[in-house]
Amino acid sequence: MKNKKQLNQTTFLLMITIVLFFVMYGIGCILFNAQGFSKTQNFLNLFISNAGLIVIGIGMTVVMITGGIDISVGSFVAMGCMMLAWMMEKGNIGAVPAVLIVLVTGIVFGLVQGFLVAYMDIQPFIVTLAGMFFARGMTAIISKDMISITNETFMAWAKLRIYLPFGGYYNKKGVLIQPYIYPTVVIAIVLLIAAFIMLKYTKFGRSIYAIGGNEQSALMLGLNVRRVKLKAYVLDGFLCGVGSILFCLNTLGGFVEQAKGFEMDAIASSVIGGTLLTGGVGNVIGTLFGVLIKATIEAFITFQGTLSSWWTRITIAALLCFFIVLQSILSMMKTKKQ
Amino acid sequence: MNNETIKKITSQRLFLPIFCLILVLLVNVITTPNFFSISIRDGVLYGYIIDIINRASELVILAIGMTLVVSASAGTDISVGAIMAVSAAVCCNILSGGERAVTEYASPLIVGFLAAIIVGVLIGCFNGFLVAKLNIQPMVATLIMFTAGRGIAQLITDGQITYVRVDSYRLLGASFDGIPIPTPFIVAVVMVAFTALLLSKTALGMYIQSVGINKKASSFIGIKSIFIIFLTYAYCGFCSGLSGLIASSRIYSADANNIGLNMELDAILAVAIGGNSLAGGKFSIAGSVIGAYTIQALTTTLYAMHVSSDQVPVYKAIVVVIIVALQSPGFARWRKSLAKKKSMNITQKEAA
């Protein structure tokens, strides 16, 4: 019975996030109907422009459920993009090996951070802070100038449109326009579903929740806390690798200042989606909606046209404030009941 | 020197932080021979060492506030850099009267300074309210201001850089006539002394540690835990506002995008390198101050070795990982097990 109540609270927060997203999107549809806000393609664009953030948000959520945090993701994305660009343009390496190398780099990066956190007992914040400096600096060492990608295979991937069989409409000339997505969106959604199943139904996923909930009891129950933590960071590193590739497919280039503040977007998305920084509570579906809310705010500002870009930050902060206060009030009510 | 005195020295709380600082400085003696030479240029002391002492001032002031926050709430305030930007924007905007560049004050200097400090304290109070009263994890609570802060600063300055080209505005970031010591350093020393006195002459320091070690138990023995935590955040806001002023005075302008950029990270690092646990409880202001100078020494060293500013973070990251790993519980465990093996080997040999 008690368990059920707790579940209800988590689902309640998730419900609020989802409802808020649809309300915001609905308002957008009403306000900017003339500019085409309500078109299917516009909705899909939210996914297209944020596929990388969704994948990285999954990794962030997993790490946050263990009670840790990873603030190196933004810098890693910059490094990943720069590596891809450099390898394909300057290093004469094909698109497939380049992508594989970035994935391996992500795993190694996660392995090192995970080792320092789990086996050396250094606070995750400090470890990933160092990781953040390292990755950003490495980006500058690889190349200080921006590199644009012209590799044919990579460009073919980036331009490959997958047309959806529904939601098409006829334009003024009477030509049928089908809504489309890119493969990046498919990858992001597949990973999201995989992560959802993994967290909910596998032993590893449940161990992650157990450790985040109470490390001491998890240890007493016979869980290998250190190894699970290490694995969580390795998974996070892998997802960062994937995320940076998806990001690169969108931006088609690498430069030093790329994806600055990306880590805070990922953390904010997770928190808005109901993940607690203390660990033990969280859901990747919530993270998806956190990302979509951020994307909707950005779409608002683009469609509105006259607002400056810093309004995005202020609005996200206000939303963040709203959700955090709501979470805290809910948990306070719970403790009072008990 | 016998083994025992060595042990006594190495077991001192501040041994590792000081050791690290000396190590960084030693590297300089080898790579840059003129590192320690100090000369007087235009009536102001000049040299690499002076540069470190001068440039680290903002970081030292931030580290003081951060230490108290970490100690009392077992969390970090990641909004300090953003608060610096806001306070600089407020100050410059009041002094310029809303213009983008002025050569004369629109209102008295003191009004601008006071307003900037008050804004810093207010934001600190907002953070403190969220953390102490609403029981929100510090990093999440300060994430709000971290995200919004620069946006607010942009809003105040209308998205442009506001210049205050008046000589007296630059005094805080440069130096007074006839005094060869840079003003930021004097301010930092005053702040350290003031905080140290405040903590040692009143019971505040003990209260903060007690709340950090066990919030509930402290409440039971009559300490107002919530108020103490609130106070540390307000103080941290005050420190941030002050360093924002210094940073703004250095460039006699308010640059909402760049003032205090990544300073929150350096401040947290300073606290960690100073040997303070980020899990709260016992703290040492001296450790954090040493940590702050270590970071600045490292940065200046890298510049002296002609590393470009984009690439500095790589080396900084490596050094930080080494320093933190040396102080980590994992490393201590490993050393202990190594010592055990050694003693076991000896006893085995003796037995044989």
pLDDT band at B225 (very low <50, low <70, confident <90, very high): very high
Judge contact between B288 and B271, C-beta under 8 A: yes
Q: Which of B155, B278, B316 sits opposite A125 (nearest CB)?
A: B278
Contact list in B for residue A328 (CB cut-off 8 A) is: 134-136
Interface contacts (A, B; CB < 8 Å): 133
Is the CB of B318 less than 8 angstroms away from the CB of A134? yes
Query: Of B69 and A37, which is predicted with more confidence?
Result: B69
Contact list in A for residue B159 (CB cut-off 8 A) is: 308, 310
Mutation site, A122, A138, A327, interface B, largest B CB count within 10 A:
A122
Write out the two tokens for A21: 């997203």
| Residue B12: predicted pLDDT | 72
Judge contact between A283 and A274, C-beta under 8 A: yes
* Chain A residues 4-33 within an 8 A CB cutoff of chain B: none
The share of chain B scoring above pLDDT 70, in percent, equals 99
Question: What is the distance of C-alpha B121 from the center of its chain?
Answer: 17
pLDDT band at B45 (very low <50, low <70, confident <90, very high): confident
* Range with lowest mean pLDDT among A253-257, B2-6, B63-67, B131-135: B2-6
Q: Which of A138, A321, A331 sits opposite B144 (nearest CB)?
A: A321
The share of chain A scoring above pLDDT 70, in percent, equals 97
What sections of chain B are H helices per DSSP? 3-10, 15-31, 48-55, 57-73, 80-96, 109-128, 138-157, 183-201, 204-213, 215-220, 225-250, 263-273, 285-304, 312-327, 329-351
* Chain A residues 297-316 within an 8 A CB cutoff of chain B: 308, 310-314, 316
Alpha-carbon gap, residue B217 to B203, rounded angstroms: 17
Q: At which residue do the structure tokens 């270590």 appear?
A: B294
For chain B, say whether A334 makes contact (Cβ under 8 Å): no
How near does any CA of chain B get to the CA of A74, in Å? Answer: 14
| Residue A188: predicted pLDDT | 96
Q: Which of A140, A310, A327 sits opposite B310 (nearest CB)?
A: A140
Contact list in B for residue A132 (CB cut-off 8 A) is: 265, 317
Mutation site, B134, B144, B303, interface A, largest A CB count within 10 A:
B144
Whole-prediction pTM: 0.84
Question: What is the pLDDT of chain A when averaged over all its residues?
Answer: 88
| Strongest mean pLDDT among A66-70, B13-17, B238-242 | B238-242
How near does any CA of chain B get to the CA of A257, in Å? Answer: 10
pLDDT band at A302 (very low <50, low <70, confident <90, very high): confident
For chain A, say whether B322 makes contact (Cβ under 8 Å): no
Is the CB of B321 less than 8 angstroms away from the CB of A328? no
Predicted confidence (pLDDT) per residue in A143-187, tens digit: 989 999 998 999 999 888 888 877 677 777 777 778 888 999 999
Is the CB of A256 less than 8 angstroms away from the CB of B310? yes
Is the CB of A331 less than 8 angstroms away from the CB of B141? no
Nearest Cα to B251, choosing from B9, B55, B47, B75?
Answer: B55
Predicted confidence (pLDDT) per residue in B262-315, tens digit: 888 889 889 988 888 877 888 999 999 999 999 999 888 888 888 888 888 888
| Residue B39: predicted pLDDT | 79
Question: What is the distance of C-alpha B176 from the center of its chain?
Answer: 24
Is the CB of A129 less than 8 angstroms away from the CB of B329? no
For chain B, say whether A164 makes contact (Cβ under 8 Å): no
List for chain A the helix, strand, coil content (%; round to 5): 70, 5, 25
Predicted confidence (pLDDT) per residue in B178-204, tens digit: 788 889 999 999 999 999 999 989 999
